[in-house]
A and B are shown apart, each in its own frame.
Chain A
Amino acid sequence: MLNFLARRLAQIVPTLFFVSVLIFSLQQLLPGDPALVMAGEERDPAVIEQIRHQYRLDQPVPVQYAYWIKGVLAGDFGESLRNKMPVRELIAQKLPVTLQLGLMAIVIAFLIGIPAGIVAAVKKGSAWDYGANLFALWGISTPNFWLGIMLIFLFSIELGWLPASGYVPLTENWRASLAATVMPAFVLGNAISAILMRHTRSAMLQVLESDYVRTARAKGLSERSVILKHAMRNALTPIITLGALELGTLLSGAVLTEQIFSIPGFGKLIVDAVFNRDYAVVQGVVLVTATVYITLNLVADIAYILVNPRLRG
């Protein structure tokens, strides 16, 4: 176990180094000049030259990289070109928002996807099964932005129950915070629940046909106990891993939803930064996302080993 952990941790360092080089060089390929974008409508050549100099944009890329990575190793991600905020502070501001949204979305996805998947598998071929499949198809094929706007029309404009957009931190007012995030979390969770439902259904179908379930039934256990205690537990292991990975994706993949609901999260931060050619912010956010993703993967692997003793070498 320790051996495994040490090996995995040793792998993280070169991976992150590779990621950092990749982010840095890839964004140099972006067309457009950050100094020019930053200048906005005030495109005076002397001022633009000064910005280039100030942010070392006039130096060779490897030199720029060296300065950046030196700062990162000391915990300094640089500052935003657009508004002078330290990137570290920006990340600290946005990460909790996206984490809250992501976790809520995952909870919603699990609450919908797993029961639907189980029912579909147990009542295979019935109206329940078709209903659940229809729901899954709808969830996968409904565009986030459309569903988002429809929800806003229904719950904010027509019924007036929920705020149309914006964000309130949990620590400030938990009710207002939940009210502001429940619609976007549902939009995100809805799509994932469809995927979870499909996976749960096929995993359950496989398990339900296995020998030990037949044995359990033969022992005379109630159907309820067979499904919930015996079949579901085994079927869920891959689903939980899938959920963890989806959470990782949500960290950076909630862009559209964040845009519609004006949630000031990670996705919005990175998209705005790319359009503004705010290099320091793009680099910082991608690096942090990559680190979180790698960590989540590691945690999932460890959890797997803990759950499944057969993998402990």
Chain B
Amino acid sequence: MKMFRLAATSAAFLLSLAVAAQAQTTLRIGLAEDPDILDPSMARTYVGRIVFSAFCDKLFDIDEKLNIVPQLALSSETDDDGKGLVIKLRPGVKFHDGEPFDAEAAKFSLERHLTFPGSFRKPELASVDHIEVVDPLTIKLVLKSPFSPLLAQLTDRAGMMMSPKAAKEAGDKFGLRPVCAGPYKFVERVQQDRIVFEKFADYWNKDNVFIDRIVFQPIVDATVRLANLKSGGLDLIERVLATDLKEVRADSRLKVATAIELGYQGITLNIGKDKAKGPLSQSAKVRQALDLAIDREAINQVVFNGEFQPGNQWVNPDHPYYQKSLPVRGRNVDKAKALLKEVGVTPPVSVDFLVPKGAETETPAQVIQSMAAEAGFDMKIRVTEFATGLKQAEAGDYQAYMLGWSGRVDPDGNSYVFLRSNAPQNYSAWNNAQADKALDDARLVTDPAKRKAIYETLAKLVQDEEPLLYLYHRRIIIAHTTKLEGYKQMPDGLVRVIGLKLK
């Protein structure tokens, strides 16, 4: 009896601790990581971009079909020679501190991105020579040379507008109290705990903002994130594991929203910097053999429950720039063996396989290892913590490197820096004049059909030379409670809050 009373008392105590119901509507979003600095010029993480979309509007945005649509801009026009971009701005827009958004403010923001010490937007806007104020609501970006991906850059952080007054006052501390022109304004941030925003009363599109507050909470463990959603501690979580999807779908109180990512997952093969000069770096046929040994659909089925999308290019098969003339090749072990024989390599071909730590990389790497073994490759998996692996890849201390890319709206953002010779992220050290020309040409042309034709040349070259084996595209999986209405997933993975309602 005594034991029972003790249990009852403690249960009552625990119950009394439960948090009281909230008076105003608050959308609680669970993030997979703690974002970095909330300064559009200096931010550099994917998770940070999710937070930005709640409070920092951009000149342009994308829609579900990846079309570029105006946000703080009204329209844009490119000069005939491709060296000028005139942007008309939305009138009557205010920053969170009440300052007006006009041509001067837009010019200030873009110039800050271009010149602020430590700005990561500099390379994205490198084609811009200077910015002119045409009239109070029109600016002109004067370019050094034509650069067709520019408009797409302005749909991301490079297009985010900051209050000049606040930015000048705060200097490099702007990210601690950011002031933008988005639907919500910054309230407070406790590192690794929460970032709080409240509705901005003077937002230009305020009729479509229905929730009073948004709280972002970083919860690193995917199981715990899901547990919070199920227990009602959160309303929406990002990066649900593909392997948890079944459980989420079975829960009638939860809803799933998904889209295939703009990025890709693949294996970079060291061509130009391989110190050991192994067969993989010395012969394109050996690289093709490795490619032929891999069954992409099987990886997708075995590791990701069939939720991801197998691919072989830097954009996914549903993307407007995907080259349908070059579909995913099926697995062909005999052909792979024949290729190795043709080159005169005696199996097993030993490969130093650098794999970043984490279940989503290690497991597929093991599957690839056993697939490649059947064709005569001995993939020696070397699991390495991410920062260390990146440094080794830069130095060329690897032969195959499992590395993904989160993806950008324009195909240039998925290809140029990885495939252009001497580009910063060309870890393969692939050097091909034809490919370089295609990459450069694609930047000069704005007509989508012409650009696609140029990229086709590049895709063929990449398929023959194999500096990078594109494997699959992950599914962005967002889960939310049925209390949240109106949620739509965009392919960039960001959580857009306009139009959302909480029952």
Contact = CB atoms under 8 A, between A and B. Distances in A.
Interface of A: 31-33, 36-47, 50-51, 54, 82-85, 90, 93-94, 149, 152-153, 155-157, 160-168, 173, 175-176, 178-179, 182, 259-262, 264, 268-269, 272, 275, 277
Interface in B207-254: 217-221, 223-224, 227-228, 230-233
Given A166-B233, A275-B385, A259 B221 contact: yes
A44 B424 contact: yes
B44 A165 contact: no
B227 A272 contact: no
Given A32-B388, A33-B387, A156-B227, 9 more contacts: A38-B44, A84-B172, A84-B175, A149-B227, A157-B230, A166-B194, A179-B17, A260-B224, A262-B193
Interface of B: 11, 14-20, 34, 36-37, 39, 44-46, 117-120, 122-123, 172-173, 175-176, 190-194, 217-221, 223-224, 227-228, 230-233, 385-388, 390-392, 394, 405-406, 417, 424-425
B382 to A, nearest CB: 13
A51 B116 CA distance: 12
A179 B117 contact: no
Contacts, number: 160
Given A33-B391, A37-B390, A262-B218, A182 B14 contact: yes
Given A47-B122, A161-B18, A269 B191 contact: yes
A221 B119 CA distance: 78
Contacts of A36: 387, 390-391, 394
Contact of A44 (B39, B122, B387): B122
A42 B123 contact: yes
Contact of B176 (A84, A173, A175): A84
A100 to B, nearest CB: 14
Contacts of B227: 149, 152-153, 156-157, 164-165
A178 B18 CA distance: 9
A270 to B, nearest CB: 11
A228 to B, nearest CB: 20
A82 B223 contact: no
24 contacts: A31-B391, A32-B388, A33-B390, A36-B391, A36-B394, A37-B387, A37-B390, A41-B44, A42-B44, A42-B120, A46-B122, A47-B122, A82-B37, A84-B173, A85-B191, A152-B231, A157-B231, A161-B18, A165-B224, A166-B217, A167-B193, A176-B17, A179-B19, A264-B190
A3 to B, nearest CB: 44
B294 to A, nearest CB: 25
